[in-house]
Amino acid sequence: MNLIAHFIDGKRTGGTSTRRGDVFDPATGRRTAEVELAGAADVAAAVEAAERAARTWRDASLAKRTAVLFAFRELVHARRDELAELITAEHGKVLADAAGEVQRGLEVIEYACGIPSALRGGFSENVSTEVDSYSLRQPLGVVAVVSPFNFPVMVPLWFVPVAVAAGNAVVLKPSEKDPSAALLLAELFVEAGLPGGVFNVVNGDAEAVDALLDHPVVRAVSFVGSTPVARHVYQRGTAAGKRVQALGGAKNHMVVLPDADLDLAADAAVNAGFGSAGERCMAISALVAVEPVADELVARIARRMAGLRTGDGRRGCDMGPLVTAAHAARVRAYVEAGVAAGAVPVVDGRDVAVDGDPDGFWLGPTLFDRVTPEMSIYTDEIFGPVLSVLRVDSYDEAVTLVNANPYGNGTAIFTNDGGAARRYQHEVEVGMVGVNVPIPVPMAYYSFGGWKSSLFGDLHAHGADGVAFFTRGKVVTSRWLDPRHGGVNLGFPTQT
């Protein structure tokens, strides 16, 4: 059985912990590897390597850092198919979706290649007589990234390239469910010329996460995962004096107004609801139909779902399995709860015919109609291929419903009315808004993040917020006296 180890100080290495986790191929249900689960000693070894590397990497010129990032970008691009295959083999999403994930990660690498512009400070001459002031941004030192199972390449690349380009050393704790892609990224960084220890990978579970949160050398933590864990990471990390950005869960709404193009809306609902088997923090899981369009919209969505192929992601299917047997059982239980609560199962994915091994972790796309806000299929983040349709009578009722939800990650409105769209983007209490765009994930030069219980912390991922998170500002005030100046003056300094 293949044993997946850590990556510390520029090489793959085994740890001291004897704990192991299982890695599965979700499309077959077979265990394909074991992964080492780091203890506190393993985390400490990675942090020590990062601390040593950070002392010299922070002094590397911007030209050197950008050269490494450009080389890393070329290597990731050249190995994108291999990365996609690793994602599909351990996560289960179809190859086309995995390739798209790698592409979105590449966009953040490309943004990080422009770090010299992002780190430019300001300069003011003669703020006082022959006194100048200027600002600059400097790296934090050692930072940690904790990434989820659903995007084993893209989410680490939201943070790591920006952190490294800004002069930090990084310890990444990927999901123990699909760790292999992170290790390949680490090897590509070394091949690109990144010094050993600047980027390290420790595999593990909650024990490793807590060790990173408690380690005094770790200055900042970036996290993506469920809201309960995000809250824990934020509270424990900030209590230890760390800077924390913890991106949590979501319940993303798609509002469809009566004037919308219903074919466009139906296509978007299927794509955003069932892509990656719904295992996306930006997936649309609640469709809010403003009457009188609900009947026709539900019918169009159901017709499109009838043509979806669920199966092995390496066979050209539309949707793959869920990541683990336990998660598939959890999502299936939500479907059963929806039926018991009185929601109408227009398309029931529990008995889907799959193009794949019968032992895979399968659940087909599921569509519920006439869902009400108190049902668990609406209140909870299911993180699976379950789309719930809620019917409302007006735009105002739709906005009230969305804003009452405790999450505020992403939302979309489908309409041909520019005034309604503008009003919605102004009134909705959500961090990322799409207008006739179902999954409004920003480009890398903007920042990704939600509001309310979808984010703990003040700064979002990548873009300008990412640079600000991984650096700290400093202001220098200087006076270089010429020979004409001198003498003693005990008075309080004033601006003259």
Active site residues: 281
Both tokens of 284, joined, read 């649309």
Contact 289, 397 (CB under 8 A): no
Spatial neighbors of 298 by CB under 8 A, at least 6 apart, are 289, 346, 367, 369, 389
C-alpha closest to that of 312 among 494, 147, 89 = 89
**Distance from C-alpha of 92 to C-alpha of 350, rounded to nearest angstrom:** 18
C-alpha closest to that of 159 among 102, 88, 103, 109 = 109
Contact 95, 84 (CB under 8 A): yes
Helix residue spans in 149-246 (DSSP H):
154-165, 180-191, 206-214, 227-239
Helix axes 80-90 and 95-112, enclosed angle (nearest 10): 130
Pairing of strands 20-25, 410-414: unpaired
Contact 408, 452 (CB under 8 A): yes
DSSP 65-132: HHHHHHHHHHHHHHTHHHHHHHHHHHT---HHHHHHHHHHHHHHHHHHTTHHHHT---EEEEEETTEE
Q: How far is CA 492 from the centre of its chain?
A: 51
**Distance from C-alpha of 141 to C-alpha of 349, rounded to nearest angstrom:** 48
